[in-house]
Each structure stands twice: as C-alpha cells, then as structure tokens.
Amino acid sequence: MKHLQSLPPPFAEPLDALLADIAIRVQLSESNYKKAVARFHAIQEYIQREDSPLHDLVTLVYAQGSMAIGATISSKLENDEFDIDLIATLDLPSDTPPHRMLDLLEEAIAGEPGSRYYGKTTRCTRCVQVQYADGMHLDVTPMVRIETMPEKCGYIYHAPKRHATDDDTKIVANPWGFAQHFIEHTPKDVLFEAAFMARAREFETAHLLVEAQAEVEQVPEQEPMHAKSMAVIALQLLKRYRNVRYDQRDVRCPPSVMMAKVVADNAGHTGTLSEELLLQAGQLRGVLQEAQDRGRTVIVANPACAPDVFTDRWPDTLMAQQVFIGDLDEFIEKLQQLRGDVDLVQMQATLATMFGERATIEAVKQFNERTGQQIVYGQSRHTPGSGRIVLPTAAEVAALGVAAVPGIVRATPKHTHFGDEPCA
C-alpha cells in the first residue's frame, strides 16, 4: 500500500491527461462498440441464411485487426467513421479461384434487390465491405482454414477484378493468432485502466453516448471496452497521427498491424502515457530506419504465423518508407517538446497538428473545465505563476474510483526511453 500511496495518479501530468482525452475522442464509444458487435452478429447470421450461396458453409466469423485488440479509431479526421474488420472462415476448397471466393461472399452479403444489405456493399481486393448510414463500415474477409498449420491459420484471397487475372493470389494469414499475441504482450496496469475507464465513461455520459440504441440488437456481455493497457492507447494515438499525416496523400499508408506488432514487442516498460508513446514511436522509427540503412523495405511478419507478412503491400519503395520515417522524426520531436516547459496554448496548437483540431480542442476544453472544478472543490491547489497543480495521490484516486484531474501545465522530467538500436 505504501508503494501505491507514493505513486502519482496516471494522468497527473497535463500532457498525459490530454493524450488520454484525445484517444477517447477518436476511438469507438461504448455505444458504437455495442452497435458494431450487434452488426457483427447480424451479418454472421445473414450470410448463413437458407437462400445464401454460403448456407452451411460458414464455420466461424470473428473480429480481426484493431477490433480484436481494442485499438479501433475513426478512419476520418472530422467525423466518426469506423472500419470494423471480420474474418469469415468458409468450408470451401482452398484452391477456389480468388475472384470466385470474393464473388460468393459478395453474393451472400448483397443478397437480392430489397434485401437487408443490397446496395450497401462494395467489393474490395481482399474483402467485401458493408456501409452503414452512420459511417461505420464492416469489412468481411473470406478465409479457408489450413488444417496442417496452427489454430485458425488459413488462406485469404486477393483478387483486384471480378474475373481471373495474373494478380490473383491466396495469402497465408493468421489474424486470430496475432490478436492473441498482442493481448498477451500488452499487459494492463490496474490503476491506469481504472483511470482511463473513468475518463472515457465521464466523456460518454456527458455527451449522451451511453444510451439505449434504437438500431442495436441485444449483444452478449463483453469485456469493458475501455479496459485498455497503456500500450493500446499509445497505438491508437500513433495510428491517429498516421491518419493525420496521410489524410491528403494519395498513397497507401503504413499498415496498422505492422505498428501493432512493434507496440507489442516493446510494451510494459514505461510509467506514463507520454513515455509509452515516445518509446513506441522511437521503436517504430528504429525498425524502419534499420531497413532503410540496409537499402531495403522493412519486413514485419506475424509472430503467430511466419508466412503471414504484415508489410506485403507497404512500403513498396524506399521513398515511401523514408516519408514515414520523416513523419516519425517530427512526431518524436514534437512529443519531446511537449514533455518540457510548454504553456497550454502552445500545447493545444502542437497537439492539433499531431492528432487533428477537433479532438484536441475538445480535449483541452474539458481539461480546463476539470481543472476549474478541482480547484473549486479543493482537490488541487494552483500556485499562481508557478505553473503547478497539487493533485490527489494514486491511492486517493483509487479510493474514489475516479480519474485524477490535471491542472496547469508543468514541466515533465526530460528523459528518453528509446535509443538508436531498433527493436527485435
């Protein structure tokens, strides 16, 4: 208990509080999470209906990618569009032509004119996407299990056209295995988890996001969606920064799963969110720079399935790789500046360039409201001119069951948790 009492609250530093609040604003809300789960169950049942070309041929449907590891964020900067990725394991011959595999899934989802998803589907090169009026997308990828390989390992299919082409291929993948690996390697901290959940629920309650959903069916009980590790929040923020940087670039962006692999490799070594974010950005940069120095594009593979290469479509050139290295250099430089003596006005301006204006402005506004309330209720004391707030201890926060309220910006000790050596 002595150790707990001596620890600062997880969001005692204003930068950590603002980073957490930005993450809350760009991730799935609890109501959208429940909506996504309900839609997942609905489409799972629909593609197996009696008049479906896949009736009795769907053995398993499960979440993959960001949804499976709790790292989903909005795919757009100024509105809440979310991409939810699913795998549909099919009982079909593995040598089914790739374009035909996507044909069958598209027919099963789109159905006949007037049916549930008709006119709402888009066929992509490896999946069939379902669009909803509220901006959510469900990307359903067909897979055929490879029985001789580890659990849930299988072929996914790549077909850019509706007919056979030389580019058609099948790819070994195991997204389920990677999700288990990621979860195992990103341990949760009880104090951080409780504080983040409290902040997220406070935000959602204030914005009337946690409410009965008219369109949402009943869903099974889920793990609390805001019960996340510090590493997951860092991954979400890195993905958000990537989205900001690539928003106006007409090129493929670095894959989320590659970033998740690096985060999992290096999680659990820091004490605050800003430290974790700085560490992870540095390690990601190190992995890319090592490849760049050798004159090759980076190769990052699935630790649960070696033939499953996460970087098979990005980067396609050294220039594409160098562009993102430059982005990470700028990110690291700005984050290091934010961890020094920076006033709140400058902090807001810098964070807006990193994560977008809307999310940043909303986070800073709530920061100011919290600070004012805490001073009024005697929970913190501002020393005018010192830039410091005296905050409750971690033990007091835990006893209250609420997140700490940060105050005026203060200096953070300057130390760097990444070096020149890339991660393994």
Which residues are marked as active site? Answer: 83, 85, 139
Instruction: Please give the Cα distance from 206 to 29 (Å, whole number).
Output: 12
The conformation of residue 27, written as its DSSP 8-state character, comes to B
DSSP, collapsed to helix, strand or coil, labels residue 157 as: strand
First to last CA, the chain: 36
Residue 81, both tokens: 């569009």
Nearest to 243 by CA among 131, 127, 78, 85: 78
DSSP, collapsed to helix, strand or coil, labels residue 376 as: helix
Angle in degrees, 0-180, between the axes of helices 98-110 and 30-46, rounded to the nearest 10: 110
Q: Where are the alpha helices (DSSP H) in 294-393?
A: 318-338, 344-355, 357-376
Dihedral sign of CA atoms 417, 418, 421, 424 in order:
positive
Please name the residues in contact with 220: beta carbons below 8 A apart, sequence gap of 6 or more: 37
Nearest to 227 by CA among 259, 185, 198: 198
Question: CA 49, 96, 116 angle in degrees (round to 5)?
Answer: 25
Contact 310, 270 (CB under 8 A): no
**Residue 141: strand pairing partners:** 87
Instruction: Please give the Cα distance from 144 to 154 (Å, whole number).
Output: 5
DSSP string, 61-89: EEE-HHHHHT--B-SSSSS---EEEEEEE
Instruction: Please give the Cα distance from 297 to 219 (Å, whole number).
Output: 43
Alpha carbons within 13 angstroms on the beta-carbon side of residue 26 total 35
